[in-house]
Chain A
Amino acid sequence: MSAIKSVTSRIEELEKLASEAGIDISDELKKIGDKIEETSKSAKAWQRVELARNPDRPRALDIINNICDDFIELHGDRYFGDDLALIGGIGFINGIPVTIIGNQKGRNLKETMARNGGMANPEGYRKALRLAKQAEKFHRPIITLIDTQGAYPGLGAEERGIGEAIAMNLREFSQLMTPVICIIIGEGGSGGALGIGVGDKVYMLENAVYSVISPEGYASILLRDSSQAKHAAGMMKITAEDVLRMKVCNGIIREPEGGAHLDQAESSRLIKETIVRDLEDLMPRNPAVLVRYRNQKIRKFGHYEES
């Protein structure tokens, strides 16, 4: 950022010199100015990506432990196995029983390996759906904590139908007759994030990002240069402010100064505050009305022209 400042001051000097010499360089300067603005936007977006990926950032289980009076983890999809990259269970928040589902990343190499870097396989999404249906059956609200680069692009995931598993979650979560609150706590990447991201309310933590593909993926596919990830991050409009502006999320949950990783307890408190407020708002509502509004909202997403 300081590099940008020094360039800006050099340009001001140049502008002064040019006007003294009676030369018009405003067109050139505007071009440079635009470029600087773009670079600084990219730098800001990239800073968010780095914060969202910070290994010390509170993970789903950290948040669960901080916001719940008690939590019982439930395992398995009943078909294939238990996916440690996507966890879930029943918690009590201020005494209210809720079902919590979340992507779980590790903090060190060993944990990251065990959690597959937070990239879930089909059994993870099927477990999420099982727990969601269970929550619906017993009238528990659902909270999802999203933090993944995306679903796991592996051989086994394809063999076991990762596409079908995510598709089914999108369809079924849209119809759940119980409140669903989704919070993107770190990385919200692609269909893997959306697979537990359909709900009545969607929030983003201040430094979380939400995108259709990772900046690296965008750079390598559309810019044909994977080293352009920073630049791509700026172009893609992935910050919480961007996503809120596009009305794809309902609000932004503030983080402690400098980022959630600096004060896990305080960031959990801020998350809990939002959840408790929304539970009070959503729980008394008629579930059928909730589902109708949820689907009306989902079907409005998009930007097009019709003449």
Chain B
Amino acid sequence: MTEKKIVCPICKSEVDHETLSVNLMVCPSCKYHFRMEPNERIAYLADNGSFIELCKNMKSLNPIDMEGYTEKLSEAKKKSSMSEAVVTGTCTIEKVPVVLGIMSFSFMGGSMGSVVGEKISRAMLKGAEQKLPVILYATSGGARMQEGIFSLMQMAKTASSAAELDRAGIPLFLVLCDPTTGGVTASFAMLGDVTIAEPGALIGFAGPRVIEGTIKQSLPEGFQRAEFQQNKGFVDIISPRNEQRALLVKLLKSHAGLAYESAASFARTTAKASALAESVRSGGKA
């Protein structure tokens, strides 16, 4: 009955799952951030029992009849006990209502097909409609190539919904996890108002092997890691997992306050303007 130990890929120290889980899947000795599943992140981030899942019954089909895709999907479902590579929903974080979307790398490499694109898109549209800040945790190998051109179009779709959110003045917070690459990086993942990254996360468009193949030389140490991306100007904050909740709360407070305040002041201004217009029309008698 001895529990299987997990070996940290960085410092090689052994740790049991229980300890790792309590430590938010961060290696106690070297702080390496293991990949973390949506349910674990929700348990950490959302106020107890507040999470309500959206689009729970949305299922992927095999839109271009790609050989082996249907089997691959059912295998992924069985292995992960998730229905797709992203979980979206609403919840509160320290009583602030938000829309939360969390991707999973263990479901077909977090690849974005029609369902992932649609769920992320709807999460942002819900935020725009109901004036709820949106928090998205990204991790993905890129587009789900088995869905052909439909997977490419999910980039356009999520970016269009991010535009809607942007125009509505509602904040979008992105947390980039290891790895975030390809079509996800080149769409909604790079469109946050504030971009957070987990320490050491690989973040880029082309994968390191593809780049090495192009330039025919090996890449410098730390290339495309979160720290590199911050240095190059594409990441605002690198946040260790145990600090993320507090950080998000601070960001929510600052941004939500502004968003509501500006909406309220806009309403006051228009009320004043129409009162003024009315008084002009009535010859200043009012």
Interface residues of A (CB under 8 A from B): 151-155, 157-164, 166-168, 170-172, 174-175, 190-191, 194-195, 197-198, 210-213, 218, 221-222, 235-238, 242-243, 246, 248, 295, 298-299, 301-307
Contacts and interface: CB of A to CB of B under 8 A. Distances in A.
A303 B114 contact: yes
B157 A163 contact: no
B284 to A, nearest CB: 35
Interface in B83-135: 113-115, 117-118, 121
Contacts of B160: 170-171, 174, 198, 295, 298-299
B201 interface: no
B152 A191 contact: yes
Interface string B156-181: 11011111101100000000000000
A212 to B, nearest CB: 4
Contacts of A162: 186, 205-206
A112 to B, nearest CB: 15
Given A198-B159, A295-B163, 14 more contacts: A153-B210, A154-B215, A155-B211, A158-B205, A167-B189, A168-B191, A170-B187, A171-B159, A190-B152, A190-B183, A194-B153, A197-B156, A198-B156, A303-B147
Interface residues of B, number: 61
Contacts of B242: none
15 contacts: A154-B206, A158-B205, A161-B234, A170-B159, A190-B143, A191-B182, A194-B152, A197-B156, A238-B148, A243-B149, A298-B153, A302-B115, A303-B114, A303-B150, A305-B60
- Residue picked from B58, B188, B204, B219, most chain A C-beta under 10 Å: B204
A154 B213 CA distance: 9
Contacts of B145: 212-213, 218, 221-222, 236
A296 B207 CA distance: 32
B164 A295 contact: yes
A153 B157 contact: no
B3 interface: no
